[in-house]
Structure 1
């Protein structure tokens, strides 16, 4: 039992005590859904799991875009006592299959477009066959549905479910997959204690009320979006707007006009896109907003002030990591001395941030060090990765992999990543994952992916390619772009492809990525 609240299941916190007539979600495919309707749907879902013989305590993969059906599945799995793992439907079948295998998931709820269904069914069938060959009883339970026009509304009612299952404060409750430095995804194991911690932390900064309408451009399948669209609004009895499809400035501008949210969660890249639309004369209606939050990638100071001025509401700049469930450092732009270059603000309530050297010793103010976070929202560790768990979850907290320093004003200033990970639009991407795809192109002799700042100061990815035939650079470029479209989800694709004669190397023959970053920062490319 959680020692501070007595809540033993998230559905008690997020669903059961809410006024039934209030709206909890809006989905363009099914319309508005009330808390009463959601309770009915979640109870039915949990009853269906029980009737199908799904084991409480097992892990379950939910493949879905941001839809009411996805929220129903997550809450229904929790009700039944399962551990949900939410994945984006644009991941390739092999990527989804990896997570199913790695997590040893016992159930999969798949909601994908028809053109992706066959490949995913084949992948799941192969996993079923392997399970049977290994002597595991019972195939992987799954069903596929497409939430298109005419999809059933969640207030159908149906099977009864027993009371919600009980989770201990540190029992595994949720697994979120994030890329490692090699591009191999790692499952981050969260618990109920962490949910309460982030609600007491950033939740106290947001001060959501039942009258708030939350719009998040980050997806439920990512830690940032999961908190934005589910944990924070439902804990406050507010409502969330669920946007499916790829988020872009035009779509966000349309959603702002149609749904009139009071709180907007997005990434700096999309805020910059909204500014460009406004500068081009496009109406971007932000009059309903009372608060905006920018997290997921570094927010340059000048861009932050432009956003805050254009929106006319407080803008909270935040920093978080999947390993601590959500945002743990934040500050309103322009307040508290948190407007300097690289500033990400101050630890939210319940979080202690320190900067440490390689031996784990705290360093003095103004001295860069490894960012270490001590918080009850720290994950239980990585799934099946004991070495990574020991390295990251150490010294009483979590090392995020970021280099930062504490300024004289007390705020934390971000310097960069301790590794070569890219942070693109809120998604952490390993260059090695992109490079594997590019190296598989016949026209490519070698390649490297680096990050650099674009004209707005936001991080972008560039893939540098050495053509196998130096006389045909355009052929190599076209082949690389085709491979990226075919083999990588849209949010993982580099924005630039440059063909160069040779990759720069250090004196000992290693790739000199810093030279490519300098070159990328100079502009150009196609």
Structure 2
């Protein structure tokens, strides 16, 4: 196939890459051998060197095997960003088991689905979340539970003050004696470390990463060691500057590690390069800014909502954030205004990219030093092929809109236990992403919108992202999301949910006039709803499904004059 994007790669970025036929855990082992005395993790002042991190990984792998966990067994992690997460993740892989990442914000209903579907018999869970497990215990296949708290890996006196704070907030949980429960930290100290990690094959399943479930029931994407290793090497190859910082970079790890984006771009990528990972259990803007100043952060992967909050943080122009060199934005569209403001504040490069769980996840990125095009998610990474196809899977020429298809060594094996769902998205060696896109003559790709988010009003196709870009360009708008809602005349009509910047005001009529100057009449929202915040997933992705449900329940909103 033609690959016009290769002509626009930055100098030093290869057209393809070679990656080791090795288990994922070997990336951490190599860094521990190369940078044994370098700091690997920092949680609010508690630090672990690479050699000590690797020792604890082997200790947890040994503990799992002592407790009866066998190669191929599923082990679930329900933790925020913390040393325990990293230790458990790599320890599971070193024991030959399969990791199952679980969102700590999950309700009992969501937790039940994921543990039943994966068949996980082992769970590593935050102590504060024990009641959620206990509520479901009789229904689950779980045979052993390791509990741990943030206080277990905090420095003095924070390790003493944290429980006091939790009690004051009435969030502290006193763990009862339980035959299935083991204290993570105590058991780790008493275990016998593995002498040699399990030699997994490249195509062995390493991870069940569940899709976000924003459009239905979550499915477990089976990601192999090859998928995860190759995507780390693809992202490393994309940035010669990042490679040059091996052993010296500092990764701000604020985005959740249980999400595939944070897991690959922050954790696996950072540890493979010997960076220090500055762990934040919650991605709060104030904590991010403080961490950048204190640790001289060089890499700050995030999501648009995090960068929007950064840009509008009071006094941000006076903060010392100039050490930031490279930021990768994913999970949602990144408005151009946000990029320009962020780069002016930091002097770094904010790169919009694209990926999805089923691709481990990164497939596209804008060049680090080369040309960036407005609204583009950039070029396919080395080793990734991409095409825009119609419903018959015929490749469309540049400029035409169709479904984005991708292929490469990072594409999942399929969905766990769901061959029919797998067959819908994997066609030979291509993955159908469900995203509508177009490619220009230079090989830059543009995500038009989710296939399922397409709004059809009066026979016209309307892509929410285009309308949102216009709303984001209004000086009073901080966040915007556009959805389709039922309309008796047009079938669907366009509803816009808007969050205003602090101290700003604008009316629905003013927004309507602003949109009409930049959009065809049929694309202009007919309903404007002002909110103090928008519903988001744990990684910061705006949940359109919830907005559609909200709009449908309310039925009426602040309506702008109808077009025509």
TM range (shorter): 0.7 to 0.9
Q: How many aligned positions are there?
A: 447
Residue 419 of structure 1 deviates from its aligned partner by 0.7
Q: For 1:219, which of 256, 270, 278 is the aligned residue?
A: 256
- The verdict on how the C-alpha distance between 1:157 and 1:463 changes in structure 2, with shifts beyond 3 A counting, is farther
1:9 aligned counterpart, secondary structure? coil
Deviation at 1:306, TM superposition (A): 2.5
**Superposition map of 1:64-463 within 5 A:** 64-113=79-128, 116-128=129-141, 140-148=143-151, 149=159, 156=189, 158-180=191-213, 182-206=215-239, 207-208=242-243, 209-245=246-282, 247-277=283-313, 280=315, 283-332=318-367, 335-336=370-371, 338-340=372-374, 342-420=375-453, 453=468, 455-456=471-472, 459-460=480-481
Q: Give 1:110 deviation, angstroms.
A: 1.1
Quote how far apart the aligned CAs of 1:350 are: 0.6
4+ long deviations beyond 6 Å: 461-465, 487-490, 495-502, 518-522
**Which residue in the other structure is 1:134 paired with?**
none
State the shift of 1:360 in Å.
0.3
- Contact conserved, 1:305 with 1:333, CA < 8 A, in 2? no
> Is the 2:376–2:447 contact (alpha carbons within 8 Å) kept by the matching residues of 1?
yes
Cα distance in structure 2, aligned partners of 1:44 and 1:344: 41
**Range 352-361 or range 326-335, more displaced:** 326-335
Distance apart, 1:488 and its partner CA: 9.0
Give the unaligned 5+ runs of structure 1: 129-138, 423-449, 466-480, 505-515
* Cα shift at 1:520: 9.9
What is the alpha-carbon distance in structure 1 between the residues aligned to residue 484 and residue 127 of structure 2?
Answer: 30
CA contact (8 A) 1:357 1:370 kept: yes
The 3 A distance-change label for structure 1 pair 412 and 169 is same
Q: Is the 8 A contact 2:254 2:281 kept in 1?
A: no
Residue 23 of structure 2 is aligned to residue 9 of structure 1: yes
Question: Are the counterparts in 2 of residues 216 and 264 from structure 1 also a CA contact under 8 Å?
Answer: yes
- Assess, with a 3 A threshold, how the Cα gap between structure 1 residues 253 and 4 changes in structure 2: closer, same or farther: closer
Q: TM-score, normalised by structure 2?
A: 0.72
SS at match of 1:189: strand
How much does 1:255 deviate? 2.0
1:20 corresponds to: 36
Distance change in 2, residues 1:520/1:163 (3 Å):
farther
Q: For 1:239 and 1:218, locate their aligned partners in 2 and report how far apart those are by CA, in whole Å.
A: 15
Aligned to 1:45: 60
Offset of 1:281 from its aligned partner?
Answer: 5.4
Pairs within 5 Å for 1:489-500: none
C-alpha contact 1:40 1:156 (8 A) present in aligned 2: no
Q: For 2:560 and 2:150, locate their aligned partners in 1 and report how far apart those are by CA, in whole Å.
A: 42
After superposition, the Cα gap between the structure-2 partners of 1:174 and 1:364, relative to the gap in structure 1 and judged at 3 Å, is same
Query: Residue 269 of structure 1: CA displacement?
Result: 1.7
**Is the 2:354–2:377 contact (alpha carbons within 8 Å) kept by the matching residues of 1?**
yes
SS of 2:47's partner is strand
Distance in 2, matches of 1:120 and 1:202, equals 36
CA distance in 1, matches of 2:205, 2:406: 20
More off after superposition, 221-230 vs 75-84: 221-230
SS at match of 2:448: strand
**CA displacement at 1:385 relative to structure 2:** 1.7
TM-superposed deviation, 1:392: 0.9
How does the TM-score come out when normalised to structure 1?
A: 0.76
